[in-house]
Structure 1
């Protein structure tokens, strides 16, 4: 266990971090005078209605460049998925299974997905809906979309530590974020499509990457796999019944079968979250939930 520094050192470190991130994450002058014009033009050119695009960016704060920097700092191998196998988490998941048994059973009847798998995903993604994220979705995705421009990549590069810069290297850093820019524009396009359907998208909050709701769906997944589980005619991923039905729909659509060999089920889960430790943890949680406590 690492020793904790003294209180003054902690406060000083926090202050330095706030100053550095605040300065590095400040917006470029364009955002003082209008801002998201380029992204709005790109979305309009892709066929989205002007009303949907305006709705998407209405009242939106500047792009969250610090979220891009966070993405470039995270190392998958350092994430602790094993904690979700601890007794307290498993007990919480079992209680959740009992509380929502009826809605989970409906999702199983429709999509033939074991409820323990749905609950295992929810446990890892959002601690069963209790931690869905507080990052504004549009500014988070917009920050990634702007990475096609070197000006913004330079800003994020300066936000990284020397260690992270060395780990990435500038070319690999640029290539990664240029690809992410294309991805993020597709996600913003999906949000605009949802707005065209009449779904509320402005003000959405989620993960630092823009994932939304209990299921932590990206907008493209919301558009394709979001399902109404409670029969109210609306897909709301913050409603448990809709989250259950949507997760089950996603898994079935990607080839999930409860009886399939373990490697096949792991492959399907990798489509949900491209992390082998994640997929293995979900499968192990489900296995333990299916046996007597």
Structure 2
């Protein structure tokens, strides 16, 4: 649900397949990003930001944990990254579409159930899971809590720059304006992360994701998990690393943001835009979905509505640990 580009960690998959890499998935950096521990003063300021909502002792444990580090490389990335259609161009290549059709066939039963329940075309669910994480192969390795905490502390450390003085360099103005908005967003998302961690009985450090703090197969932000996470496999918990939950949660999100059945761009662009505020992303997702729909319509094995190929659902709805995309589902 965020700006995303493919890191080098995924490149080898397509080298093995003699094809160009997909671009656009949540980045997995080829090396450990520049990190440093927060100072005691910075930890105290983080505690003070949330102590009206959470127990101070709990916050002291969370923000005093040595695993919490300021991820310098991700601050500017969150503030300044802009996407283009070129970042997503390879998602329409033949191998990408082959992977999408494989996933569509294997998970047809689950996709069809989610499609019926939420009135969301199954093809768009496949398209989003392809673009977001390559069906679970690139889900990100950054500690989500570190992403949000880094932005909050960066804003707090720049308080002296506000209000922005007349005559400030335009690039600096843009940086500071983006920082202020992102800090407000980061505080909301970190609040959601602490809430869901407590509800699930997990440490906040359990959640790893993209440079923008999104996690799981559908790359949900913590607030999206709380609002639209759905127990698709009906096992009593919502785990976005499980395909069943990821498919149903994505369908729930799109329906809640206005998706209407049918792959018309004008009607449904805004629902996908809500998922990720990027026009190149929106156009890519809808083009993939339409291509899948059109190919199914021409196939003799299509369902009457053309919503996917007939096939068998996978065994347990869980993402496998293999790093090879063709073994992932």
1:40 aligns with 2:47: yes
Superposed CA offset, 1:228-279 (max 9, x none): 1111111111111000010000000111111374212011110000011110
1-structure distance, mates of 2:174, 2:81: 15
1-structure distance, mates of 2:61, 2:104: 38
2-structure distance, mates of 1:218, 1:205: 11
Aligned with 1:37: secondary structure?
helix
Residue 123 and residue 90 in structure 1: after superposition, are their counterparts in 2 closer, same or farther (change >3 A)?
A: same
1-structure distance, mates of 2:186, 2:269: 26
**2:59 equivalent among 49, 53, 77:** 53
Alignment check: 8 A CA contact 2:269 2:282 kept:
yes
Tell me the residue number matched to 2:98. 91
2-structure distance, mates of 1:79, 1:38: 41
Tell me the residue number matched to 1:229. 232
Match runs of 1:133-282 below 5 Å = 133-151=140-158, 169-200=171-202, 201-259=204-262, 261-282=264-285
Residue 55 and residue 115 in structure 1: after superposition, are their counterparts in 2 closer, same or farther (change >3 A)?
A: farther
Structure 2: give runs of 5+ residues left out of the alignment. Answer: 1-30, 162-168, 297-329
2-structure distance, mates of 1:291, 1:270: 23
Structure 1 length-normalised TM: 0.80
Residue 116 and residue 54 in structure 1: after superposition, are their counterparts in 2 closer, same or farther (change >3 A)?
A: farther
CA RMSD, aligned part only?
Answer: 2.5
Alignment check: 8 A CA contact 1:65 1:140 kept:
no
Structure 1: give runs of 5+ residues left out of the alignment. Answer: 1-17, 155-165
Q: State the 1:77 CA deviation.
A: 2.4
Aligned with 2:294: secondary structure?
coil
Aligned with 1:80: secondary structure?
helix
Aligned with 1:192: secondary structure?
helix
1:291 aligns with 2:298: no
Alignment check: 8 A CA contact 1:153 1:174 kept:
no
Superposed CA offset, 1:139-177 (max 9, x none): 1111112232244999xxxxxxxxxxx8x6111111111
2-structure distance, mates of 1:208, 1:187: 14
Figure out how many residues of one structure are paired with residues of the other and give that number.
Answer: 257
Give 1 or 2: higher helix fraction. Answer: 1
Q: State the 1:178 CA deviation.
A: 1.2
2-structure distance, mates of 1:106, 1:119: 13
Superposed CA offset, 1:69-112 (max 9, x none): 22345231275111100000000000001111111122112211
Superposed CA offset, 1:25-73 (max 9, x none): 545xxx344742212221122x234465356444432121211122345
Residue 275 and residue 153 in structure 1: after superposition, are their counterparts in 2 closer, same or farther (change >3 A)?
A: farther
Alignment check: 8 A CA contact 1:52 1:192 kept:
no
Aligned with 2:195: secondary structure?
helix
Deviates most, 75-84 or 130-139: 75-84
Aligned with 1:63: secondary structure?
strand
1-structure distance, mates of 2:241, 2:159: 32
Runs of 4+ deviating beyond 3 Å: 32-35, 49-59, 150-154
Tell me the residue number matched to 1:107. 114
Structure 2 length-normalised TM: 0.72
